[in-house]
Structure 1
């Protein structure tokens, strides 16, 4: 995208994944997992506002005092969020999450130290065996990147429907239908939410439904889909650990206004979700998978879980890189019958025990 002035070299730099403009004289970028202030300056607040309006108009949106916030997707797939005065007190703020030009699979994630080779093999088996997965993590932790990798084992014969607020997923299969939400127009009409799209997707004969990020009432419809024959569906969620992810899903179901008792909601979650994968961007900038956690059922009102893999932190080396070990717990998963059904039992045992 041309005509963006000082932002153009940052957008062209493949080493940069995120760009954050905090007014005309402060711009930061994420390089190799760490935030760095960049030598980028706009002439004044008006110049920056003009750039922001140019970005918005390119995607058919408007940003000004009457509509001071915009969330959109650029032509190259990058996500952009814009906030302008009077909400942004120090000048317009632009946040850009750049679209990855190359797809990243398990091999690359092992090279990035995000996981070990045995963990990568186990996650590939989880995807191949059509287990339903939620990827949990904070902002910028690599959830979407991991979701893309988890989609790699999906068979070419499966019909997959993806649902996102801003399309980021890069599925390689031939039978993929991509759906994207639509914000309301200036009159407040025409909005299409993720929940609308999930409900409609169920009428489209999907084998799997992949939701880019579940954040509201659509969580209820996602659980319904997972519980009604759409095995292998996946999504991401903002949460700090697997147990927190379960609580967040429960709260989102309550947002749907179904007035279900907590135990009934937890039974739905335990029956629908097989695995939670926790990913974290650590202080050395490396994004690591800290837990691969299986949901094994209910005991009373509590969802029971067991860790299949964990990251064990051991220290920090002289270069400031955190050191640790990705360890398989050796516990037999409850989905062992699914492994046998798909002919993956021996491969799983090799990945988790080395035998």
Structure 2
């Protein structure tokens, strides 16, 4: 049952035609206007609950999202709530969650998206940046499914990643050197392997006098750097028009005087523009790509290139010239870590292969692969 105080706050916002675009400040004012007889402690509690209900994920889920250790919150219809605190998924108590379909619909509306029988899948962002994905029945056999991924508002420093077991001192030194020599780097891995986390940390050590232009589906990267600007895609409207994709944004970013060009995720035909940009003097660029292993990156790039009308040979020519290193991340027993660092090499048949330079043994040790001489040469150079 909804808190009567929250109902009053909502009514106050509706009376002022502010509910659709309410922000935390407006909610706080509405709380004060509707609760003048309450004490300070009650007002603080009501303001917290109202923000969670009207702008966030509700009184049950919002405290989970506010936990700095939580990266994901998953609602499996009426079958429970699960969280990931970096050590794998764990089921958590969720008493009072209520109707998950109604919750999913409300969250989609807060994110500015439609979710109903005619549009049973919604993807968007809550006001605090939390990424939302929701699916309704009958697409979901269990009922309404909600996936929430938090956004870290401040990047981890490299020493913090080392302390957390994400990488060790040796890997940290190599990655920092790749930044210093302005190498172009692809970060690969599965969903949730930490690609965005690592990328934000690496961008945080870019010299302060350089301009970083980040291109993403939605602004998520938050490096600790004084000069970062973000470009984000615009989805088509309900008529299916007006969309602006990553490929257009990459071309736009090249005209914005970037010192570092960064693509949050390369997942489609924009690979043509990214490889083209990195081949035209925009050194020091970073991008992420989904792949099962570093050795699978050439096939992944070829597949993405085909979406842009490029042949595998054309992709290979561009990638071999543009990409200096591939850093692959993996989750092992719930722990995210750097698994391989590799380089792209020609395969002798007009294509390319990925040679591992160094790989982790899963226990903090490294082995050296055939790609190490090429990587070492690049680490000792500067463009």
What is the CA–CA distance in structure 2 between the aligned matches of 1:26 and 1:167, rounded to whole Å? 30
* 2:95 maps to 1:37: no
Q: Point out where structure 2 has 5 or more consecutive residues left out of the alignment.
A: 1-50
- How far apart are 1:56 and its partner, in Å? 1.8
1:80-129 CA-to-partner distances (Å, cap 9, x unmatched) read: 11112332232211101111244212111111112110110110010121
Per the alignment, residue 189 of structure 1 pairs with: 241
Secondary structure in 1 aligned to 2:361? strand
Q: Is the 8 A contact 1:217 1:255 kept in 2?
A: yes
CA RMSD of aligned residues (A): 2.1
Pair 1:310 & 2:364 matched: no
Q: Which residue of 1 aligns with 2:141?
A: 89
Q: 2:329 aligns with which of 279, 295, 299?
A: 279
* SS of match in other structure, 1:200: helix
Matched, 1:266 2:316: yes
2:184 is aligned to: 132
SS of the residue corresponding to residue 19 of structure 1 reads strand
Task: Find the partner of 1:16 among 70, 85, 90.
Answer: 70
Which of 359, 365, 374 lines up with 1:325 in the alignment? Answer: 365
Asked if 1:300 is matched to 2:349, the reply is yes
The answer on 1:245 being equivalent to 2:297 is yes
Change in 2 beyond 3 A, CA 1:297/1:231: farther
Q: Which residue of 2 aligns with 1:61?
A: 113
Moved over 4 A (4+): 41-44, 327-330
Deviations 1:45-70 (A, max 9, x none): xx222222222222222211122211
> Residues of 1 paired with 2:100 and 2:338: CA distance?
38
- Check the 8 A contact 1:79/1:166 in 2, yes or no: no
Alignment of 1:199-238 (within 5 A): 199-238=251-290
Q: Compute the displacement of 1:133 (Å).
A: 0.5
Q: Does 1:174 align with 2:226?
A: yes
Change in Cα spacing, 1:294 to 1:188, as seen in structure 2 (3 Å) is same
| Partner-residue secondary structure (3-state), 1:2 | helix
Separation in structure 2 between the aligned mates of residue 310 and residue 201 of structure 1, nearest angstrom: 34
- Which of the pair has the greater relative contact order for Cα pairs under 8 Å at 6+ separation? 1
Report the counterpart of residue 349 of structure 1 in structure 2. none
Match of 1:2 among 39, 49, 52: 52
Tell me by how many angstroms 1:337 deviates: 6.1
Larger Rg: 2
TM-score normalised by L of structure 2: 0.80
Unaligned 5+ runs, structure 1? 314-322, 343-355
3-state DSSP class of the match of 1:264? helix
Structure 2: distance between partners of 1:170 and 1:17: 15
Structure with the higher fraction of residues in helix conformation = 2
| The structure with more strand, counted as a fraction of residues | 1
**TM-score of the superposition, structure 1-length normalised?**
0.86
Partners of 2:298 and 2:244 in 1: CA distance: 26
Matched residue of 2:328: which SS? strand
Q: For the Cα contact (< 8 Å) 1:25–1:40, is it kept in 2?
A: no
